[in-house]
Amino acid sequence: MKELDSNTETSKPVDSKVTKGLGRRNFFKVGIAGTGLAVGGAAGLTIVRRMEGIPHEYFPMPVKDDFKPIDQRNVILTFAASKTLNEKHPERIRKFGNFHFYERYKNFRKGPFQNTPGYTQLDRALAVGGWSSLQALHGPYSLSSPDGVVGSWEQTMLWESKYKFTSEKEASIAIKSAAKLYGALNCGITRRDRRWDYEPLYDPAEERELSWEKDFPFQPKTVVVILAEMDYLAMSTAPSWVTDATVGNAYSDALKIAGQVAIFLRQLGYKAVASMNDMGINGPYAVAAGLGEAARNGQVITPKHGPRIRISKVYTDLDFVECDKPRTYGVASFCKNCKRCADSCPSKAITFDDPSWEPTYSDDPDYIWHAAPGVFKFHKDAKKCFRFWTENDGGCANCICSCPYNKPDFWHHRLVDAQNVVAPGPVHRFMRFMDEIFGYGKVSEPKHVLKFWNSGDKA
Ligand code: SF4
Ligand code: SF4
């Protein structure tokens, strides 16, 4: 992994005189010209390579040899959905200001409507509709329960003979073609990695522990990772309930596609199970499958849609398939200097610190029970994030909306990728403030809600 630069100085606003009067197109030209001058001809090829991502033979983030897979009972949404676990761990509730995870989750999205754009009956209806398919596809605890409806471990529709692909590449392309036909924004393939699978698994709906060895129906060899897109206009309303709608909708899409890919594989004679957030961590699997890079906001940033995606996956016993290589795009370096998500986070869940092996916000085991020490990354306090969702009564996603990589078109982060090669630190900070000056990524903007609700009229 490329060393992160050590410049952690807080960014200063750019003088508005510098940017006054620059249109978006002109800014693009200025940026390109500046980058071009700085880079020179010979580095051009390096830039092009960098924009496509640098492939790696190994997982592109340092992981300690003694890293232990996460116990699913320590995952926030699993813990919050389980009455039993809440009763078993009063110290977790106490240490987090007597915040009762289970009670708050039970009453989530049930609060009163408000008179503010983004929080009306219209907005709530949109959100509940957005999440409804996921619940129908996977059950009431749809994000955290293994062995749900579409993600059932039962191997129904398994063809008795196996289809023989002529090459691993052919198998890979066929799976990706199928995933895209079912609606995937993108699809990557990687080997199953036990480090990213929960151990043990826990189903909060049935309050039961599950074992990969005793309960899961086969030995997974490969994981197919699927991306679904969230709507840009809806996302720009964050943290409103309209954002909640596109989050739920993209989760539903992602699971629907994973379920279809699982059936496709079973019809080819290979065992397969679709999974949402319920059996392993989607982020590292997406990174391993070359779909994006881990970012400060705790999300995976993809080259074309930034963090505006949701991820699902399919475990299969098919191993005659070409896997993708992880790729890096300069995101870690950009995040080191940007910090816009941390500034926009209403719960202060996102760290301003550099990547580390473990959380820097606390070392009290009763406070950081949900953390995953042993991966060198930006550690976020997911409990604070969850608390804000419940206070907001409908999620948040400010950290996706405000991210400079979140764009409906891609000129900005192509430029960022390009300049990352030669001009880190100060240019990253400049890019972040240019983004703000041009009005991108503003959160809590009622006019964005109105813009979304008027968008249906456009052809
Ligand atoms: S979703 Fe909101 S509260 Fe959670 S980390 Fe992102 S910005 Fe912070
Ligand atoms: S807002 Fe900035 S720091 Fe946060 S994830 Fe996006 S690029 Fe990284």
Q: Let me know: does 405 contact 335? Beta carbons within 8 Å.
A: no
Q: Let me know: does 254 contact 311? Beta carbons within 8 Å.
A: yes
What is the Cα–Cα distance from 189 to 191, expressed in whole angstroms?
7
Mean pLDDT estimate for the chain? 88
Type and span of the H or E element at 315: strand 309-316
The pLDDT of residue 100? 97
Answer yes or no: is pLDDT of 52 > 90: no
Answer yes or no: is pLDDT of 4 > 90: no
What is the Cα–Cα distance from 24 to 30, expressed in whole angstroms?
10
Among 312, 313, 318, smallest CA distance to 267 is for 318
pLDDT band at 138 (very low <50, low <70, confident <90, very high): confident
Name the closest-CA residue to atom 6, ligand 1: 399
The pLDDT of residue 414? 61
The pLDDT of residue 304? 85
Residue-wise pLDDT tens digits, 367-382: 999 998 999 999 999 9
The pLDDT of residue 435? 78
Segment 140-153 shows an average pLDDT of: 89
For the CA of 306, the nearest atom of ligand 2:
6
The pLDDT of residue 16? 35
**DSSP label of 123:** H
Q: Is the CB of 329 under 6 A from ligand 2?
A: no
What is the Cα–Cα distance from 261 to 315, expressed in whole angstroms?
10
Q: Is the CB of 341 under 6 A from ligand 2?
A: yes
The pLDDT of residue 329? 86
Residue-wise pLDDT tens digits, 280-333: 999 999 999 999 999 999 999 998 899 999 999 999 999 999 999 999 988 988
User: pTM value?
Assistant: 0.89
Q: Per DSSP, what are the bridge partners of residue 293?
A: 301
Question: Residue 413 CA: which ligand is closest?
Answer: 2
* DSSP letters for 245-266: HHHHHHHHHHHHHHHHHHHHHH
What is the Cα–Cα distance from 47 to 43, expressed in whole angstroms?
6
The pLDDT of residue 202? 97
Q: Let me know: does 103 contact 78? Beta carbons within 8 Å.
A: no
Among 24, 19, 20, 34, smallest CA distance to 412 is for 24
Between the CA of 403 and the centroid of ligand 1 the distance, in Å, is 12
Half-sphere exposure of 166 (CA within 13 A, CB side): 1
Q: Let me know: does 59 contact 194? Beta carbons within 8 Å.
A: no
Indicate the top mutation candidate among 405, 413, 431 to test ligand 2's pocket, ranked by most ligand atoms within 8 A of CB.
405
Name the closest-CA residue to atom 3, ligand 1: 385
Name the closest-CA residue to atom 6, ligand 2: 403
pLDDT band at 19 (very low <50, low <70, confident <90, very high): very low
Most confident of 139-148, 221-230, 425-434: 221-230
The pLDDT of residue 419? 62
What is the Cα–Cα distance from 210 to 203, expressed in whole angstroms?
7
pLDDT band at 122 (very low <50, low <70, confident <90, very high): very high
